Structure 1
Amino acid sequence: MIPLEPAGEADHLDIVALTNRAYRHTGPGAGWAVETFVEGERLTAELLRKDLVEKPKAQLLAWRSAEGELQGHVWLEPAQDELWYLGLLTVRPDRQDRKLGRTLLAAAEDFARQRGARRMQMVVVNVRDTLIAWYERRGYVLTGETRPFPYGDDRFGRPLRDDLCFVVLERAL
């Protein structure tokens, strides 16, 4: 299992840079999970700090190599009862296709399970069929619930389509 450590303030700029590279970079070296339906940054240091302050029970976990290089990160947050929310699962795009995403996901699930989680939930933008299928292969199921996309809130970038929403996926741990 990979080592996940709570991310500190010193990690925030690396996490922001990796998130934007993994979710929005479309040039050479782009990963398979790029969001081409939104332009602009996916995350800023200001937004990350604000989210951490507003959600004090959340855990932002970093995965670093033995040399200290950020390999990936994940956001975990107890939601209710034994349900936890998983978000911002990110692996370096140049290291994708090495089963590192599934390894990071399993480590995140173990982390939450050790703290009382019995179910994990996430939201994914509805047009991300490949990503939804990736999570389904790992045991997540679509719940049938959708949530509105934050049109008009450009903190996460500017949407290029008008048919976006979030679908909810869940998995028993």
Structure 2
Amino acid sequence: MSDKNKFDYSHFTVKSVVDTKVPEVYKLWTTKAGLEKWFLRLAEFVKEDGSFRQPDEDIQEGDTYRWLWHGYPDNVVEHGKILELNGKNHLRFSFGKAGIVTVTIGVEENTTIVTLTQEDIPPVEESEINYHVECKTGWTFYLANMNSIVQGGVDLRNKNQKLNLD
């Protein structure tokens, strides 16, 4: 395959409808309690002074995090840093070794849309599957779960750590 026909695994974008207002979606992304509602088993945020953020406290640029998922043991952990926030509809964070994630929440045709872009995915062969394909699949699921939670409370996550769904 020639270089001009080679697929670019260094980034991807996923968009999803969320049936609520932009400020509510933003809060789901920018608080410990919000992230644990639809995405994570544990979302710990550490301020630059070393103290932990409270569940409903807004995260800030410079915070570091430790994330754990339902259905996975504690050794499946992600560490990163909050790089950018605007307080209303935009955030960026490092996503471990998998690059940088940017989330923008907007409105099109009276519908709230979350646009998530993961970029700076490392240019190594294992990244094509681990970071591009699996992350894109994961984000697609979790964004659908966010909308499911918002619309009626049905949580689609596997919370049984004894099940191996890999």
Normalising by the residue count of structure 2, what TM-score does the alignment of the two structures yield?
0.31
Of structures 1 and 2, the larger Rg is shown by: 2
Q: For CA contacts below 8 A with separation 6 or more, give which structure has more relative contact order.
A: 2
Normalising by the residue count of structure 1, what TM-score does the alignment of the two structures yield?
0.30
